[in-house]
Structure formats: structure tokens, C-alpha cells
Amino acid sequence: MSAHQESSSAAGQRHRHEGPKNHYLSYIVSIILTMLAFAAVIYGDLNRAFLLWFLVILALAQVIFQLAYWMHMKDRGHTYPILFLAMGFVTALTAVAAAVYWMWW
């Protein structure tokens, strides 16, 4: 076996291509989540507090799904991007909490 074949087989073992099936599935789930959000708003007969929480939960589900499948955060080797996203979220949450505290105190 030549050196090129060994290196290409080792590279193939590190990264496995998933194919378009996951892309189709994630696109369909994203469309369904978006349609649920539009339908909840268009229906208009829902309690406002329930609608707000329902939309926030749908938005969080969409964000998690998009990060996992479209941004490939579910794959191995994405520890640093996940860490930086989490720290950015904590920083943004702290800034918003500090601003709200400062304005309302």
C-alpha cells in the first residue's frame, strides 16, 4: 500500500461524510418549526403569555437544531466553537442583566 493510500484512508476514518439525508431532514424540521410559529401567530386566539413562551421555545429548538445540523456542532472536534458560543451567550446575558438592573434600580 502506498503512502498516499494510507494517508487518504486515515483521513477518511477521521471525517465521515453523512450525505444529503441529514440536510434534507434538518431542512424539513426547520420548515415545520417555522410553520408552527407562523400558525400560532396567525391563529390569534391564543393567550398572549402562552404564545410568547411557545414562540420562545420554538426559537430555542430552532437554534439548537440549526447549530447541531447546519453548523455541525454535533460532530467531534467542535469543542472550541461550542465553548466560545457558550461564553458569548453568558457574556450577552450578563450585559443584558446589568443593563436592566442599572435602568430599573
Q: Using one digit for the tens of pLDDT, what is the confidence trace for 45-90?
A: 889 999 999 999 999 999 888 887 777 777 777 778 778 888 998 9
- The per-type count for the chain, helices as H runs and strands as E runs, is 4, 0
Instruction: Tell me the Ramachandran region of residue 17: left when phi exceeds 0, alpha when psi lies from -120 to 50, beta otherwise.
Output: beta
pLDDT given at position 7: 47
Query: pTM here?
Result: 0.62
Q: Give how far the C-alpha of residue 96 lies from the chain's centroid of Cα atoms, to the nearest Å.
A: 21
First to last CA, the chain: 72
Q: Would you kindly state where each structural domain of the chain is located, as residue ranges? A: 18-74, 76-105
Sign of CA dihedral 34, 38, 41, 43: negative
